[in-house]
Structure 1
Amino acid sequence: MPRTKPTLKLGVYGSFDINPEQAVTSFFESKQQDELYFKKPLWDVPREGLQHEAIENEREFLEMSSQQEIFKRKAAIQKKINERRIEDMHHTQEKLREKFIDTNSFLKECSNKLERTDGEIAKELAKQKIYKEEIEVFEKDKKKLAAFELKFKEVVKDFEIYVDVFSEVIENSDYESFDDLTMNIDSLLSTQIEISEREQQLVKGIEHVRQTMIDSTAKAAQRIIELNDELAELESHYNQARTETLKWENTLATAKDFIAENEKQTITLVDSIQHLYHLLTTRNDEKVKLKKFDVGGQLDYIRDEIEILEDIIKRAHHKMEKEGQSMLGEGSNRFQNNVDKGSDLSD
């Protein structure tokens, strides 16, 4: 903090008596000069020693203590100020909260009122639109009625001349009044209407019969087309079946020829077997006991005879081998060949 009463005199050094502010300025100026400089006073020369450090530390401690006390007082004052500010802030917060709640409630109420108002406005606009449409319809009806009134007046004017005619008719006829005449006319008109309705019914009946005939004709034509399609399909199946039949007929003809050829061979073979059977029975002086078509029995008989002949030949060979002679000659070879053929047939 600035001094309110600064020291004006430092003492007399030589013949000079200088104020502190002027002395400091003169001191720094004298450092830059070679002449006219002040000699440093003894108290301005730093001294060394522990007592000086202790004094300096004590001075700093006192300064720090004084500053600490000052800061404590300031902190206490600031604490009170802050507490008061916090209380004011809480109070302000409560007020703002209440105002916010009131404002929010007011806004919600305004929003609800706005929604209700919009709904009522929409309803009123819809009603207004309906009323406008009805008014337009009424205006159109009014114009139509006005035009009809004009036309009706013209028609009345046109038919006024017939009033006298009807009066003369009533006077010269059996009708007592105009109402009787109109009733008779109404009956005639109703009869005409009934006749026209009956005519329309007859026309409708004729049209229905005509439509029925057209439908029946269309159905018959459709059925004929379907039958033609079925006939074409049957013809195609018939042609396929005929082709297949011709194919099988050719196959059967080939089979018949093959069967006939085999039958010829079979008959020839049966005749050969029967002939051999007759030869063997004749050689053995036996009667023919088996019939022609008993081929199995004949073959059994031929096989038995061939086995007997083979046994005889074997014995003859065995005997001739013992005697050192041979029975193989032209006749015996021919006989043996015939026997071999007979054995093949029996097999």
Structure 2
Amino acid sequence: MPRKKPTLQLGVYGSFDINPEKAVTSYFESKLQTDLIFKKPCWDVPREGLQHEALENERKFIELSTQQEVFQKKAAIQKKINEKKIDDMHDTQLQLRDKFIKVNDFIKECVEKTVRTETQIEKELKQQKMLNEEIKEISSDLNELLTFEEKFKGVIKELQHYENVFNEVIETSGTYESFEDLMSRSDALMLAQVEIAEREQELIKDIELIRQKILKSTFEASQKIIELNTELARIERTYNNAKAEAMKWEITLSRTKDYIADNEKETITLMDSIQHLYQLLAERNDEKVKLKKYDISGQLDYIHEEIEVLEDIIKRAHHKMAKEGMSLLGEGTNRFLNPDKETNLSN
């Protein structure tokens, strides 16, 4: 019974999804085809060797030589054709170049003309716009003037009786010669009144400014007086503090003077003692007294050096007596008995 759904497996020829029935059919067909293979006889098989290769190479060389000659002839013919084409193309290029230059110049001229025309058109449009605006303004002004004329005519009609009154005044009074004289006098009076009012306002402003300045000066003066009073109080406090400090230092100075006066005698005595000791040590060392009385520091340095020398001598004497088994006290009692020994010891 044939299968409806074939299995997925690798077929005989390496393809997929082959039915088993087809695979069997292919197998038997290939088995029958093995009997139909045609085998060539030995004499029909091409020989192998150097002669065969030489003949084959010669045949190929002849074919290639003939092909080369044909190609060379074709190349020469094609060369002439190409040279002619190149010359034609060169001429065409020159012609096209000339035409391109002419066309380019023409395009540039067209562009320049276009730019000029556009600028001219813009100028004309702007001028047209300005003229239209001026026309509108003039027409509006004209309408305003017409309306003003109508209103002015009405005003003239309303003020006609005033003109009659002015004429009567001029005729009756001998002061005014004409209507213009009357109007000029009235205008002058009105201007004088306006100037008087302006002057009055200026004077009022000046008075107000002066009043403000006086108030400001008064306020500043009061502030300055307050500051000066404050500064005076501070200075008085400083003066009192300085006075108290001066009294304190004066008392301290008087005490110091008393202390110096009390200790001056002791100081003089001490200075005399130092000088006397210095002189004794200098005479002992057979030296001249070089330092003055008030050179206390130098004298003390000299005395200190001599004391160090004496201490060194005493230490050496102790050391020597300790070696000899003697005491420095016994030696001290007998130093007047043996002055030569004392001299050697000091040396």
TM range, smaller chain:
0.5 to 0.7
**Aligned-pair CA distance for 1:172:** 4.7
User: Structure 2: which amino acid aligns with 1:123?
Assistant: K
Mapped to 2, the partners of 1:262 and 1:143 lie a distance apart of: 118
Contact 2:170–2:179 (Cα < 8 Å) also in 1: yes
Q: Which residue of 2 aligns with 1:237?
A: 235
Contact 1:170/1:181 (<8 A) preserved: yes
- C-alpha distance 48-219 of structure 1, shift in aligned 2 (>3 A): same
Instruction: Tell me the equivalent position of 1:112.
Output: 112
Deviations 1:126-159 (A, max 9, x none): 4344334433432442233233222212101212
Match of 1:16 in 2: none
Structure 2 CA distance, aligned partners of 1:40 and 1:142? 129
Tell me the residue number matched to 2:149.
149
Cα distance in structure 1, aligned partners of 2:185 and 2:71: 128
- Percent of pairs identical after alignment? 37
Q: Judging changes above 3 Å, is the alpha-carbon distance between structure 1 residues 208 and 36 closer, same or farther for their aligned structure 2 residues? A: closer
* SS at 2:178 equivalent: helix
In the other structure, the counterpart of 2:68 is 68
1:46 and 2:46 aligned: yes
Q: Give the count of matched residue pairs.
A: 233
The letter for the 2-side match of 1:69 is E
Q: How does 1:309-320 map to 2 (within 5 A)?
A: none
Query: What's the counterpart of residue 306 of structure 2?
Result: none
Contact kept? 1:175, 1:181, Cα under 8 Å? no
Query: How many Å apart are 1:116 and its aligned residue?
Result: 3.0
- Give, in whole Å, the separation in 2 of the partners of 1:131 and 1:199: 47
**For residues 125 and 246 of structure 1, do their structure 2 counterparts lie closer, same or farther at Cα, with a shift above 3 Å needed?**
farther
Residue type matched to 1:75 in 2? A
- Alpha-carbon distance between aligned partners in 2 of 1:133 and 1:220, rounded to the nearest angstrom: 64
The normalised TM-score by structure 2 is 0.53
* Rounded Cα–Cα distance in structure 2 between residues aligned with 1:60 and 1:252: 145
Q: Does the CA-based 8 Å contact 2:170-2:178 persist in structure 1?
A: no
Q: Which residue of the partner structure matches residue 86 of structure 1?
A: 86
* Aligned-pair Cα RMSD in Å: 4.0
Q: Which residue of 2 aligns with 1:96?
A: 96
Quote how far apart the aligned CAs of 1:70 are.
0.8
1:229, distance to aligned residue in structure 2 (A): 3.0
Give the structure 2 partner of residue 184 of structure 1: 182
Q: Which runs of 5+ in 2 are unaligned?
A: 1-32, 267-347
Q: 1:68, CA displacement in angstroms?
A: 0.7
User: Relative to structure 1, is the Cα distance of residues 38 and 244 closer, same or farther in structure 2, using a 3 angstrom cutoff?
Assistant: closer
Shift of 1:103: 3.5
1:1-347 mapped onto 2 (5 Å cutoff): 44-47=44-47, 52-166=52-166, 168-169=168-169, 172-174=172-174, 180-256=178-254
Matched with 1:317 is none
1:6-30 residue CA offsets vs partner (Å, 9 max, x unmatched): xxxxxxxxxxxxxxxxxxxxxxxxx
Structure index of larger Rg: 1
The structure whose RCO (Cα within 8 Å, separation 6+) is larger is 1
Q: 1:33 to 1:184 in 2, by over 3 A?
A: closer
Contact residue 167 and residue 179 of structure 2 kept, 8 A: no
Query: Match for 2:247: what amino acid?
Result: E
